[in-house]
Every structure is written in C-alpha cells, then in structure tokens.
Amino acid sequence: MNKLDWKILQVLDWNGREHINKIAKAVHSNKDVVAYHIKKLEEQKTITRYYPVLDMGALGYTTSRLYFDLEETNSGEEEGFLTFLDKEINAGLIFRMDYPYRYGIFLWTKRISEIEQAIFQIKSKLGKKLIRYHHSIINTFRQYPKDYLWNNKMHKTNHSLEPKDTEPYDQNDFNILKELSKNARISTVQIAKNLKIPQTTVSSKIKNLEKRKIILGYRAEINFIKLGYMNYFLEVYLDTNDNLKQIETWADTNKNVVWLQKIIGTCDIEIEVEVKDRVELESLLNEFRSTFKNIRKIVFWSQEYKKLTFLP
C-alpha cells in the first residue's frame, strides 16, 4: 500500500461508482495509473466488492436481524451453512460473531410470514446443532465513511436509513437495482445489455433513483482486517433514553464509528466501531462512558462480515 493506494481507497470508500477520470482528478494522477492501482487493490482483496447503499424502506421492505448460536462445527459444515444462508435464505448481510451468538444475518422482507419461513428453514437445516436464536427489527441504521483510515478527526457525512413511506418504482427500476447490487461499478451499457432495455433508459432511471434517495450512495467494501483493524459491535444499555439524540451525535462525529442502529428487541442503541486493537477500543469506550453518565452497560464483541449487500 502506497500513498496513491490510500487516496484511491478514500475516494472509493464513499463514492464506489465514481468514474475513473474523476478518481484520477481527485487523487492527482493519470487515469491509466489509477486503473492499474484499483485492479491491484481488487486482486489483493483489499477491495472485495462494490455495492449501492439502498433505502430498503422506500422499496417497501422491513429490516429484520436474526442471531444464531450453534454447536461446534468444522470448516466444511460452516462453509455449507454460509452458502445456505446466502443462496437459500437470501440473507443480505451475513456476519460471524465471537459472542454471544455465532452468526447474524439481515433479512429484508415485505411480510412477517417470510421471516417465519426463513426461521423454519434454518431450524430444519441445523437440527440439533441450533442451540438458540433471536429475532429483532432494525428501525434505523446509519453508515459512516471509514474516516479513521484517512486520519480524519471526525465524520462529516453519513447514509441514514430512517422509517419512511414506500416510493413508487417499476420492474425495470428493481432490475437495475439488482444489477447494481451485484457490482455497483457496472456500466450502464452492460446493465442495458443484461436487461435488454435501452442504455438511455438505464441512465435516466439511475439518476431518478438517486434523486429520490432510493439510492443513497455507492461504496467499496474495504477489507479492514487486511489493513490491520478489527470490528467491534457495541450493545449499549441506558438508564434513560432522554439523551439518545446526543449519543447519535457522538456517533455521527466519531471517526471510528462505522455503523449505528436503533432496534426493537434488544438494547437501547447499537454502535459498530473499527479500531487497531483492544487498547484503542478501551480508550474509545472510556471516552464514551465518561461523556454519557447514564450508560448502564456496554456489551461488546468482535465480528467479521461474510456478505454485505442491500438487495440480495
């Protein structure tokens, strides 16, 4: 990783669909050189994929999360279960935890019956290996750029997904979103070819989806573990919720916070952070506790994303 690699990562982290010419201009380099470095970052798995950040509520979906605790499994069984969650359950996010469960997934559904069916399938698949599971509803979630990687002091932006009314969209809109979810850097020409519709239609619809905030942005999925960082998930329990907005503001500005969630079913608020090690984590937690005296307890664990997409 040299200075140019870091500059390119910073652009793609929050603007994953940016045209190569604009990236080159932003990092003060030649477009061919930038293209070479991007390809190298992809081959090295520093960048693992590109995805759009979608407002799933605007598309009429509810966000559910399921946790599963399993008996010990070997590598083959674990890989098979991950494939099952991806292909059969159609999970959008899949992550592995070290506590208090083994796996977690996000499901985007339009009916409660779909969640019930997914739980039934998972229970049937795992049998006695399933020790317990937990279901909760995600009311709000917010993504932040990885500002800690660029030595920025604080966040200046975020993508916030709040409850909202469903926006109208047609089948071509949905199909375009599916194509972008597979690879957010896919060209409009290729989308048009895949869907057998005019390229001008594709371009117009993408612009409209962006304007209506159904597409909130595009990101590169950066392998933070490869860069020497760890992800920690914080469950925060409060005495009172009267300063919840202040806690959100703290997360909105803290450079190590990468995700925030307000949920129905567990704690008061959830925050994800990425740090170098436990020492940096403890420093962050001490600052957090000293800033908000009504924190009763913070339960935390490390986790690793196995899949991340907004429209599986």
Condensed to tens digits (0 to 9), the pLDDT of residues 228-285 reads 999 999 999 999 989 999 999 999 999 999 999 999 878 999 999 999 999 999 999 9
Contact 287, 86 (CB under 8 A): no
Residue 96 forms part of a structural domain: yes
Residue 274 forms part of a structural domain: yes
Q: Is the dihedral of CA 245, 250, 252, 253 positive or negative?
A: positive
Determine which helix (DSSP H) or strand (DSSP E) holds 172, and give its type and residue range.
Answer: helix 171-182
294 pLDDT band, cuts 50/70/90, is: very high
How far apart, in whole angstroms, are the C-alpha atoms of residue 180 and residue 196?
15
Statement: residue 192 has pLDDT above 90: yes
| 78 plus 132 within the same structural domain | yes
| 294 plus 157 within the same structural domain | yes
Q: Write the CATH number for 177.
A: 1.10.10.10
| 135 plus 191 within the same structural domain | no
Residue with tokens 């020409």: 189
| 39 plus 152 within the same structural domain | no
> Residue 48 carries which DSSP code?
E
| 175 plus 261 within the same structural domain | no
How far apart, in whole angstroms, are the C-alpha atoms of residue 90 and residue 311?
9
Average pLDDT in the 40-52 region? Answer: 97
pTM as predicted: 0.92
| 156 plus 240 within the same structural domain | yes
Contact 146, 254 (CB under 8 A): no
Determine which helix (DSSP H) or strand (DSSP E) holds 130, and give its type and residue range.
Answer: strand 130-143
How far apart, in whole angstroms, are the C-alpha atoms of residue 100 and residue 303?
11
Q: Domain range for residue 74?
A: 62-139
